[in-house]
A and B are shown apart, each in its own frame.
Chain A
Amino acid sequence: MTAYIIRRLLQAIPVLFVVSVLVFALIQVAPNNPLAIYQNNPDISPEDLERLAEQYGLNDPLPVKYLKWLSQTLRGDWGESLTTHRPVFDEIAERLPNTLNLSIIAFVISLIVSIPIGVVSAVRQYSWFDHITTTLAFMGHSVPVFWFGLLLIIVFSVNMQNPLAGTLLFPHAAPLPLFPGGGMTTLGADAPPPLVDRLWHLVLPVTMLSVVQLPQHVRYMRAGMLDVLKMDYIRTARGKGLSERVVTYKHALKNAAIPLVTIIALEVPHLFNGAVFTETIFSWPGMGRLFFDHAQRGDYPVLMGILMLSATLIVVFNLVADIAYAFLDPRIRYD
């Protein structure tokens, strides 16, 4: 097993290298230029632009730019943003906790809700419960997320008022929306207590994000359960006279959880990436917006930092998934 892990980690090096070359090239062909914001400014002369391009290293040929970036990164320096001039590491470190705050909660909620639903609808296949959840899952899957997010805002933040406005929990005088339509904290003197405030702000974006993930998880869980329930050992368990409860939760669920664990491990890296739509609609200062904002400005050091972090996490968690699989299913061997 150890040999396998070491081999996989060594394999990751060329993979990450190829990813970095491709990503770097892709970013460079995109037409966004960090100096674009200066170009239509009548007070910035062509000489000024030339001087800045030289200073930012934009005139270097692509391979030179890449090698500069690579040597810097290998030395542990993530570089500096070309627009904010702050270290890329600081930019990411500032946003990552916000994104994890949102995505982990949504992910956990989605799992807690989806596992029982998936199990029940598999056990009672073709029952009214199964039909309703499958239909809802299908709808949840097809709903455009940004539309759903805006709908949440209109209903819960614009139309509905907070009945607790003016109380100890929500000191702000009415009118106060039922849930805030954006941001992470209430600013100003009459903010709710910090924990209440954060949870209050999390409600809508978490709802939106869970609704995106939930149908997928329900379908995986349901399909996994259905597969397992057809297995011979389940029939054997029933034949031994075990109660349906024990059969379902002890024998079937354990085995059906294996593919789900793999899926969870593969989804973890995406928790770090941030959800561009959710963060955009709910003004959540996370990684998704960091990426989007800097992509628009062609700020390649920041983009490279985010993308390489994400590529590394994907490589690592693929390995984790494979290892977890071996632990859960003794038939799988990697020697």
Chain B
Amino acid sequence: MLSKSIRVLLGVGLIVMIGVACAPAAPTQAPAATSAPTQVTAPSAPTKAVGATTAPATAATQSATTPRRGGTVTIAYSQEPPTLNHYIGTTSAMWSINAMSLEGLVTLDPDGNFMPQLSEALPTKENGGVSADGLTITFKHKKGIKWSDGTAFTCDDVVFTWKAVMTKESGAASTVGWTDLDSITCADPDTTVAKFKKLYSPYLALFRNPIMPKSAGDPANMQKWAYNRKPIGTGPFQLQEWASADHITLVRNANYRDATAGKPYLDSIIVKFVPSVDVGLNLLKSGQVEVMWNLSEAVLPTVEKMPGIKYVSKASTSSERLVLNLADPKIDATPDPVNNPHPILGDLRVRQAIEYAINKQQIIDALLFGKASVATSDVHAGWAMCELKVSEFSLDKAKQLLTDAGWVPGADGVRVAKGAKFAKDGTRLRLKYQTTSGDKLREDTQQIILDQLKQIGVELYIENVPSDVLFGTWASGAFRRHGQFDIIQFSPNPDIADPHSHMYQYYDSAMMPTAANKGAGANYSRWVNKDADKAIEQAGGILDLKQRHDLYCQSAQLISNELPVIFLYNRSASSGYSERLQNYIGYNASNPDFGANAANWWLK
């Protein structure tokens, strides 16, 4: 009997171990795009559709045929959100499902530009929505908005949402931005006035979060609300039923503001949870679902061959990169990388040589089936998008740079220092190269890069670790935060709505994790550049999106020049869908967020 129990235990242990590192995506995306968007601000962001078979632009430019009303669309999701409360959950599935039923005061269009949603217009200084000191933001709501339960949407709901997030016992995951609010008051039921304690440049991104109705419950009890499994919103669809691990049914919201225009066209949407992408693809192929949500680049060639199936693919904000340590890895979290440089990577010429030697397009063609784009910066999508030059692949230039930098070919082909800037003569050009273990795409990428750098006499050795070790905390002694590495590869997930926190955390010199700041910040390269600091900090101190865009581009250019990181490829957000489904469009997003245009979907 006991031996049976032990066997059970061993089995359990095994199962538990299997589920190790599953680095989940961070959040961020827009609720439903509605009628003709008043596109605002920023540069004209060209649609960066990666290998898209359809060329979607905005919700406005769509099929000329009259949409047919009625029908049900079933979407296969390979991930089930633990909760649909936006302020507790963070999974990309949650964002994508909520986009069909919940709305914020503002939202993003498919290219990541802000547009009003529940608010009548984007508040700016010109239209009087932003006060002269930039601290008070006034949102005028669209008239006659109702929650799906028929009650009126008012400013009290916005106040309620803020208070729910700020209630300590509510268990809200993120309080970023909300804590910077001094007050939210109601000038009248249709006017929300938000007053910030200090200038908060991502103010629009903050109000992109969906508003919760004040009927949702007691904030102190938020984790247990019935709302969390059946949220009430103002969007085109209303959640009707959630059977765990099986499906969620969303039905037409009769109180939707565009109901008079016949929207949403579909009667209902069923979100079907499938345990794996393979299963979902089979369902798509056999017509049992109309959409398979969130596909990786590697399966797109298979989807392309399926009869009657198309796919949409746009760049996500996530880009794979090599983070190079510019500081001496032997010193624990040095606050002074300039005087304690990395013996090899401290020299810009070596970093340049490494970038010249990596054939990024070859990696994309070989491992991502050409379905991704070469990455150039962290601001490659959204309103802050900057067009930067793709790095050149040239082994000759790489070799020349290394020779100039005092690294000469050794007996076995690996270069050794002879008059290098920071390395003692005789040092081998050998670097440790780490990423998360068990990630096939990353491991294959490593092999290609290892081979490519070998050709210029740079020797890499791989020492991969589980993702919770790589992404560990300062307190746990994670080498990424403590600066004890040479090269690490991963991809963070910047917020499409506002790049500021990402740019500041990853590139500002004040954000090097050190003992003094208890390991806060994400400038793991320990890159110090006063011009970039100035540009980033300045962008965080103003509200004008056009000016902010220019400042982020300046800093992105500086990063590209000095190479604290080498960008490899942009991951794309893709979905496969049936040709019968019309107006199914992609979004540039931090997550594969395809639900935002649900009001306009219809079935042929």
Give the contacts of B1-47 with A (CB-CB under 8 A).
1-2, 4-5, 8-9, 12-13, 15-28
Query: A283 in the interface, Cβ–Cβ < 8 Å?
Result: yes
Contact with A along B243-265 (1 / 0, CB 8 A): 11111010000000000000000
B285 with A15: CB separation less than 8 A: no
Identity of the chain A residue whose Cβ is nearest the Cβ of B9 in the assembled complex? A22
A33 to B24, CA, bound (A): 12
A280 to B23, CA, bound (A): 20
Query: B276 in the interface, Cβ–Cβ < 8 Å?
Result: yes
Contacts of A106 in B (CB 8 A): none
Say yes or no: A150-B278 contact (C-beta < 8 A), given A52-B173, A266-B4, A285-B244.
yes
Identity of the chain A residue whose Cβ is nearest the Cβ of B246 in the assembled complex? A285
B286 with A177: CB separation less than 8 A: yes
A283 to B22, CA, bound (A): 20
A175 to B307, CA, bound (A): 13
A314 with B5: CB separation less than 8 A: yes
Query: B273 in the interface, Cβ–Cβ < 8 Å?
Result: yes
Identity of the chain A residue whose Cβ is nearest the Cβ of B490 in the assembled complex? A40
Contacts of A296 in B (CB 8 A): 19, 22
Which of B123-131, B444-452, B491-499, B561-569 lies at the interface? B491-499
Contact with B along A263-278 (1 / 0, CB 8 A): 0001000000000100
Contact partner of A187 (CB less than 8 A), chosen from B228, B244, B249, B286, is B249
Contact with A along B59-98 (1 / 0, CB 8 A): 0000000000000101000001011000010110000000
Contacts of A32 in B (CB 8 A): 16, 19-20, 22
Name the distance in Å between A261's Cβ and chain B's nearest Cβ. Answer: 17
A292 to B505, CA, bound (A): 35
Say yes or no: A158-B279 contact (C-beta < 8 A), given A43-B501, A45-B176.
no
Interface size of B by CB at 8 A reads 74
Name the distance in Å between B122's Cβ and chain A's nearest Cβ. Answer: 21
B228 with A290: CB separation less than 8 A: no
Name the distance in Å between A70's Cβ and chain B's nearest Cβ. Answer: 18
Give the contacts of A164-196 with B (CB-CB under 8 A).
175-177, 180-185, 187-189
Name the distance in Å between A265's Cβ and chain B's nearest Cβ. Answer: 12
Say yes or no: A188-B16 contact (C-beta < 8 A), given A40-B24, A83-B83, A181-B279.
no
A286 to B17, CA, bound (A): 21
B246 with A180: CB separation less than 8 A: no
Contacts of A158 in B (CB 8 A): 282, 285-286
A280 to B28, CA, bound (A): 28
Say yes or no: A40-B471 contact (C-beta < 8 A), given A158-B282, A183-B246, A283-B275.
yes
B20 with A30: CB separation less than 8 A: yes
B244 with A95: CB separation less than 8 A: yes
What secondary structure prevails in chain B residues at the interface with A? loop
Contact with B along A119-152 (1 / 0, CB 8 A): 0000000000000000000000000000000100
A311 to B24, CA, bound (A): 31
A41 to B86, CA, bound (A): 13
Identity of the chain B residue whose Cβ is nearest the Cβ of A149 in the assembled complex? B279
Query: B53 in the interface, Cβ–Cβ < 8 Å?
Result: no
A15 with B24: CB separation less than 8 A: no
A157 with B15: CB separation less than 8 A: no
Query: B520 in the interface, Cβ–Cβ < 8 Å?
Result: yes
Interface size of A by CB at 8 A reads 75
What secondary structure prevails in chain A residues at the interface with B? helix
A37 with B91: CB separation less than 8 A: yes
Name the distance in Å between B387's Cβ and chain A's nearest Cβ. Answer: 23
Name the distance in Å between A150's Cβ and chain B's nearest Cβ. Answer: 7
A153 with B279: CB separation less than 8 A: yes
User: Which B residues contact A (CB, under 8 angstroms)?
Assistant: 1-2, 4-5, 8-9, 12-13, 15-28, 72, 74, 80, 82-83, 88, 90-91, 168-169, 171, 173-177, 223-224, 228-229, 243-247, 249, 268, 270, 272-276, 278-279, 282-283, 285-288, 466, 468, 471, 492-495, 501-502, 505, 520
User: Which A residues contact B (CB, under 8 angstroms)?
Assistant: 15, 19, 22-23, 26-27, 30-33, 36-48, 51-52, 55, 81, 83-86, 91, 94-95, 150, 153-154, 157-158, 175-177, 180-185, 187-189, 266, 276, 279-283, 285-286, 289-293, 295-297, 303, 307, 310-311, 314-315, 318
19 additional contacts, CB 8 Å, given A32-B20, A292-B15, A292-B19? A19-B8, A26-B13, A26-B16, A27-B16, A30-B16, A42-B26, A45-B174, A177-B286, A177-B288, A182-B288, A187-B270, A276-B15, A280-B276, A283-B273, A283-B279, A285-B243, A311-B8, A314-B4, A315-B5
27 A–B contacts, CB within 8 A, in A order: A19-B8, A23-B9, A26-B9, A31-B21, A36-B468, A37-B90, A41-B173, A45-B176, A46-B520, A83-B83, A85-B171, A95-B244, A150-B278, A157-B282, A157-B286, A175-B287, A187-B249, A187-B272, A188-B72, A188-B268, A281-B275, A285-B244, A285-B245, A293-B245, A296-B22, A297-B82, A315-B1
Closest 3 CB pairs of A and B: A285-B245, A296-B19, A41-B26
